[in-house]
Each structure stands twice: as C-alpha cells, then as structure tokens.
C-alpha cells in the first residue's frame, strides 16, 4: 500500500479492517459455530453496535472470508498457470491451489457446510451474496481454459468454467468428508479424475456425444443461475 493510500484511509476504514481481520482469525481458530459478533467486537476493541454497523451479521463476515480465500486462491494459481499450456494440467493447478486454501479450515469444515448448505442460506456458495467470490473461481477456470494450447470445441468453452466451478464445489464437499491424513484421498480423487479427463477429452469431438454433452452443460450452467 502506498503512503498516499494509507493517508486516504479513514478511521472508519481502519475499524472495518480490524473487525474483519479479527473475524477471519476467529473463523480459522474457533470455526463457524463458536465465532460470535460479541467475541469479535471484544477482540477488536469496539462495541457490538460498531461491529453491526460495518457487518450486519456473522454471515457478512463469512463473505469476507470467502473473498479472502478466493483472492489467495487466485494469487496462488496465476503464477503456476504461466508455466503450462496443457489444458488438464492447467485445470489441475486451479483445483489444487483451491484445495490448498481450504486446508486450515478442515477441522471446522462440517460446521461451515451445515451453515452454508441450505439453498436459503446467504453463505451458500451459489447464493447471490456469494457471487463475487464465486466469480473469482469461475474467472480462474476461464483463464485456465482460454490459455491452453489444446482447444476444446467452441460451443463448450463458454459454459465450461461455470461447470468446473461446480465440480470444484463437489470436490470441496468430498474434502469435508475426507478424514484421511492431509485429506490425501481428495488429492487422489482429483488426480484420478484429471487423468480420466485427459483420456476422455478427445471423445468430446465425437459427434454422437456432442448433443447430450451440450445439454448437460446447459443444465449444469442453470444450477448456478
């Protein structure tokens, strides 16, 4: 941050950032259930009213967490993407760097899942509120597809990133359930899935598969809509 930006920071901005930082650390250290606005206010040295002024609910702070995680995801993925022009390798980079960001939250993952899984939850990854962090992931998959030397049929390229984002959510669901050390089973599932994709990719050019694949992608694209 340049000194002029620091100078432009208001007291209100600094208070907001402090509350946010405390909340993100609390989610990492206490999980979702044990994090309360009262605890956050106390640790940030402000009143509950001030916390509520900046963030109307705990779930607004979860959205800050989502943005923080996905921003770090993008920062981890982009330099690695520069090193490969192979489509499946590039997808693997986006999936793997995404899983890495989740690592510190695994012991609390079932709490976040229970709170987020309802279609009515504001922190559901497919909710309107989650749009900005979701778009970071879709954008990463779009970059991964667009920068690959092996081209997929143009008719699939548009909707593939949103479908891959849903695939990433399903992988994260598997990961929540994965109690193996370091969640190595999720890593194996991903590696095998990528290998299968590598072998299957030439098949998308088969005319007999194009129509049902097209229809499936249309439907999957609707899920996030």
Chain positions contacting a second copy, by CB under 8 A = 110-111, 113-114, 117-120, 126, 170, 174, 176-177, 179, 185, 188-189, 192-193, 195-196, 199-200, 203, 208-209, 212-213, 215-216, 219, 222-223
CB of 18 to a second copy, least distance (A): 32
Q: How far is CA 67 from CA 10, 36, 60, 96, in A?
A: 22, 19, 11, 18
Nearer to a second copy, 27 or 112 (CB): 112
The neighbour count for residue 93, using CB atoms within 10 Å, is 22
Least distance from a second copy to the Cβ atom of residue 68, Å: 24
Q: In terms of CB distance, is 56 or 216 closer to a second copy?
A: 216
Which tokens in the block code for residue 2?
């340049």
Would you say 17 or 113 has its CB closer to a second copy? 113
Query: What is residue 49's DSSP assignment?
Result: H
Instruction: Find out whether 55 and 61 touch, Cβ atoms under 8 Å.
Output: yes
Report CA-CA distances (Å) from 135 to 24, 38, 42, 118.
20, 31, 33, 20
In the complex with a second copy, the residue whose CB is nearer, 2 or 179, is 179
């Amino acid at each position: 941050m340049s000194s002029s930006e620091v100078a432009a920071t208001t007291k209100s901005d600094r208070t907001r950032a402090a509350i946010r930082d405390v909340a993100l650390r609390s989610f990492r250290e206490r999980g979702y259930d044990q994090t309360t606005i009262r605890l956050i206010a106390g640790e940030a040295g402000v009143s509950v009213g001030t916390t509520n002024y900046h963030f109307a609910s705990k779930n607004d702070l979860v959205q800050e967490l989502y943005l923080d995680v996905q921003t770090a995801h993008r920062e981890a993925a982009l330099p690695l993407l520069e090193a490969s022009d192979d489509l499946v390798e590039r997808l693997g980079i986006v999936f793997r760097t995404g899983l890495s960001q989740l690592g510190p939250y695994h012991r609390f993952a079932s709490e976040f899942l229970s709170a987020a899984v309802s279609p009515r939850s504001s922190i559901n990854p497919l909710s309107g509120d989650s749009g900005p962090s979701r778009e970071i992931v879709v954008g990463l998959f779009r970059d991964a597809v667009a920068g690959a030397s092996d081209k997929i049929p143009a008719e699939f390229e548009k909707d593939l990133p949103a479908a891959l984002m849903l695939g990433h959510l399903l992988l994260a669901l598997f990961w929540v359930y994965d109690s193996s050390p370091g969640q190595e089973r999720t890593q194996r599932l991903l590696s095998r899935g990528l290998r299968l994709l590598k072998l299957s990719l030439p098949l998308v050019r088969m005319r007999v598969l194009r129509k049902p694949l097209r229809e499936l992608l249309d439907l999957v694209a609707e899920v996030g809509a």
